[in-house]
Amino acid sequence: MRKTSLVLLGAVIGASAVSLGTHTKMFQGGSAVAAAADVYRDLNLFGDVFEKVRNDYVEKPDDKKMVEAAVSGMLTSLDPHSSYMDPKSFADMQVQTRGAFGGLGIEVMQEDGLVKVVAPIDDTPAAKAGVLSGDLISAIDGENVQGMTLNQAVDKMRGDVNTTVKLTLLRGPKKDKVDVTLKRAIIQIKSVRSHVETSDIGYIRITQFTEQTYDGLKDAMLKIQQDIPEDKFKGYIIDLRNNPGGLLDQSVAVVNAFISHGEIVSTRGRNADETQRYNARPIDLSKSKPVVVLINGGSASASEIVAGALQDHKRATLIGTRSFGKGSVQTIIPLGQNNGALRLTTARYYTPSGRSIQAKGIEPDIQVIEDVPDDLKGKDDTKGEASLKGHLKNGDDEKTGSQAYVPADAARDKALHAAMDLLHGVKNADATPAKAEAPVVIPPVGSATPGAKGAPAMDAHPVPDPTVKEPAPKIEKP
């Protein structure tokens, strides 16, 4: 029995990279000099305000906290996914992406002064207690979270294993109050789960992209190939529904498990010479078996990289509803000397055909709408990237979110059954073909991405630090 997964994402985990170098730009000309002078005048203003607050505030402020707050404000003003991580947050994030940590098992972010549940992690205290994506945490052990920073709220939810914590949740449009008591546990994140469906189909569920994901996928595929005779093996179902994303290099590796050549994804920064292209290597593990990918409104970023690449290569049929639409890459930049790190949006990513899914999402080839229970109606759609304040714009045809409900009972899972019917060659009444679009043209390997210069192949690209995961705007996992 699978846990009901209902994601109402304000923002989601995405694809990350690491910058270890320093970039220096030389300013030349009178206008550049004047611009630099304006910047230094603004910095003088900051210094003046800092000193005024430091000397005249009613109570003695903490200098370090004031500086961190100023840096945090600067980053969060850019877009929903850029933020500052203090040393503790940075260390916690590195631990979390390794796939094991202590706590309740929920991904959270801050919204309007409250703590919002991005998603409960499968088989954790939060998931077992019925915490839902989109729930707002208003109090922890009876203490109001308004006025707390996200880090303070997360620290209150963490604690010794087997101790309890009471969360007060506000649920749904009417903000119905729900109290839940959870027992803290060691959270072991297993990002890949698999089993055989109907004796001839390999079902693989990827919950997020951690540094363990590709190895988990590889093991799952090998086991499925051992369990299903070659002559009866109909294909794979890859379930990416409500997968909020994770590590960029892991999403690339997952795609490479199903294709042996061609581009997987490209990233483009502010300047054309910053474009990077990731190409497949000849390590296709799928043995060319058919593939169906399940997506919905909770599938974001790294999930969209996988879905978009397999769709562009016509390697998989996508079934479900439109994905979230987070098409940006955040670089984790350590600041050194125990100063934490920046999570900075540095590029947009593009599918092999050159599509940007930022604020648009990936449209499935076949749309399937799930039947939502009456008590969850109105809570089953995500708002999508396009609804986030300050999101990166992408033309005039931005798309809002879509349904993100996955039935707990597999027997009621219409998208899953549509995928199995497709692999069995059976027509499914719930499957609606998506609107026809222009043919996809994928640039040949080695060619430049349209509008980009000097795009190196995957081999030439620095591999992202596998210990770094970039949640958005500020996502923690207590």
Is 312 catalytic? The answer is yes
Q: Nearest-CA neighbor of 126 among 478, 469, 475, 382?
A: 478
Is 138 catalytic? The answer is no
What's the burial of 263, exposed, middle or buried (CB within 10 Å: 0-12/13-18/19+)? buried
| Selected catalytic residue, list 79, 86, 312, 365 | 312
Using DSSP, state whether 100 is helix, strand or coil: strand
Query: Two tokens at 212?
Result: 């363990």
Structural Rg of the chain based on CA atoms: 23
Is 273 catalytic? The answer is no
| Selected catalytic residue, list 234, 326, 360, 469 | 326
Question: What gap in Å lies between CA 137 and CA 179, rounded to an integer?
Answer: 10
Which residue spans within 105-163 are E strands per DSSP? 106-111, 114-120, 136-140, 143-144
Residue 26 neighbours by CB distance under 10 Å: 5
Question: What gap in Å lies between CA 301 and CA 324, rounded to an integer?
Answer: 8
Question: What gap in Å lies between CA 231 and CA 200, rounded to an integer?
Answer: 9
Give the dihedral of Cα atoms 180, 186, 189, 195; nearest 10 deg: -80
Q: Nearest-CA neighbor of 455 among 309, 252, 267, 282?
A: 267
| Selected catalytic residue, list 266, 301, 303, 402 | 301
Residue 265 neighbours by CB distance under 10 Å: 26
Question: What gap in Å lies between CA 468 and CA 385, rounded to an integer?
Answer: 22
Catalytic residues: 301, 312, 326
